[in-house]
Amino acid sequence: MSEPIPSKQPNRFLRFWRTIGGGSLTLSLFIHGAVIFVGGFVVFITRLPEKQIDFLPGGGTQAGAEASRDLAHKVQQKKRKTLSKVLPMKKLVTTSLNSTITLPDAPLDALDVPDVSSLIGGGSINGGFGKAGTGGGFGTGSGMGGLSGITFKPLMMFGKELKDTRKMAVVMDVSRSMTKFLPIVARELDKVARGSPLILYFGCGLKTPPKNLEDKVRKVSDPGFNKFWQYWEGKNDMKALRSEYPNLKFDPALPMPLEPIYQQMIKRPNTYFIDFNGITYTSPALMCKEVMEADTIYWFSDFMDAVDESHIADVKKKLKTRKQKLYMHASVHGRSFEKVRDLLVLPLGGEVIDTKAE
């Protein structure tokens, strides 16, 4: 009888693995891996997006047109809902011309922007998105801002509205009888349009100037202003001063006439003067480049000095070319008041303002 052949013994690692239950652990890992794989595959399949098929009728038919309109209406409603959620309705109001208003951002595709043809066709041309507004914004008001109701306040001098005026300049008669009004006029000017040009001229006549007339417009910071003020605003005899003035010099040792007014003028920016050249050549002040950007020139005087109708016509032509109006503020109705009013101020679209009290 033959002896049984002994079976091959597993190696030491397998014996150890079986001892600690490695077979059961391997089987468990395999089963769990299979479950995870199957579950992941099912989730992946169920999450695949289905291809959306639009069963709109084909173009070119009445049904297709109706379906297109219906779709456009739904899209528009969706945009409006989105806009109403993102941008809550708020009313923004400002009374300051210098205010900075920041509008909330909105996606362009969410805004109901009008067709370009609606902006340029039909009635008046509007600068914005308003309903027949005349402003440069997109509100319904007539202002030039970006919201309804915002307007530029009109400029008012001594309670008088200067129509269609955004920029102004003042020509002031600083002859000795008029200088007392200068501080009031300067303060009023800076109250309504701070820093606007102020031109000082000794006199108010409008006669044709000679070709060699010294009519240079200078800033009050020019040293010549000290001489001009010291002699012409002082108490020197006018007739003697006319002949002596070219040879005179400013004397800092002498007191300055009307010191408070002088200090007010030299400290004010954008203030100019024309050195004395006679009381009848005011036209260079009215037509100088320093006032050419103004919509309205405001002339304060007593209108006592002589004028020429032919030279008035020249001044009117110049200011009309620049599209400038002329307002005259009369401290009194001097001998030339009616001519200046009827031949120059009113034809240029300006008005008359009278001083009621000193």
* 147-195 per-position pLDDT tens digit: 333 445 778 899 889 989 999 999 999 999 999 999 999 999 999 999 9
Q: Which CATH number fits domain 155-354: 3.40.50, 2.40.128, 3.30.2350, 3.30.70?
A: 3.40.50
How do the domains of the chain map onto residue ranges?
104-149, 155-354
Q: How high is the pLDDT of residue 244? A: 93
Q: Which residues, in sequence order, are bridge partners of residue 224?
A: none
Question: pLDDT grade, residue 68 (50/70/90)?
Answer: low
More confident residue, 161 or 20: 161
Q: How high is the pLDDT of residue 326? A: 97
Q: How high is the pLDDT of residue 113? A: 42
Q: How high is the pLDDT of residue 122? A: 41
Q: How high is the pLDDT of residue 106? A: 44
Q: How high is the pLDDT of residue 346? A: 97
Question: pLDDT grade, residue 321 (50/70/90)?
Answer: very high
Kindly report the three-state secondary structure assignment for every residue of 45-112.
Answer: HHCCCCCCCCCCCCCCCHHHHHHHHHHHHHHHHHHHHHHHHHCCCCCCCCCCCCCCCCCCCCCHHHCC
Q: Is the pLDDT of residue 306 over 90?
A: yes
User: Which range (15-19, 186-190, 212-216) has the least confidence?
Assistant: 15-19
* 75-107 per-position pLDDT tens digit: 677 766 665 554 455 544 444 444 444 444 444
From CA 279, how far away is CA 172, in angstroms rounded?
13
Q: How high is the pLDDT of residue 147? A: 37
* 234-289 per-position pLDDT tens digit: 999 999 999 999 999 999 999 999 999 999 999 999 999 999 999 999 999 999 99
More confident residue, 151 or 38: 38
Radius of gyration, alpha carbons of the chain: 44
What is the mean predicted confidence (pLDDT) over 287-305? Answer: 96
pTM more than 0.85: no
CA distance readout (Å), 99 to 48, 61, 148:
54, 55, 15
Q: Is 125 exposed, middle or buried, given 0-12, 13-18 or 19+ CB atoms closer than 10 A?
A: exposed
Question: pLDDT grade, residue 6 (50/70/90)?
Answer: low
Q: Is the pLDDT of residue 118 over 90?
A: no
Collapsing DSSP to helix, strand or coil, 44 comes out as helix
Q: Is the pLDDT of residue 200 over 90?
A: yes
Q: Is the pLDDT of residue 112 over 50?
A: no
Which H/E stretch holds residue 346?
none
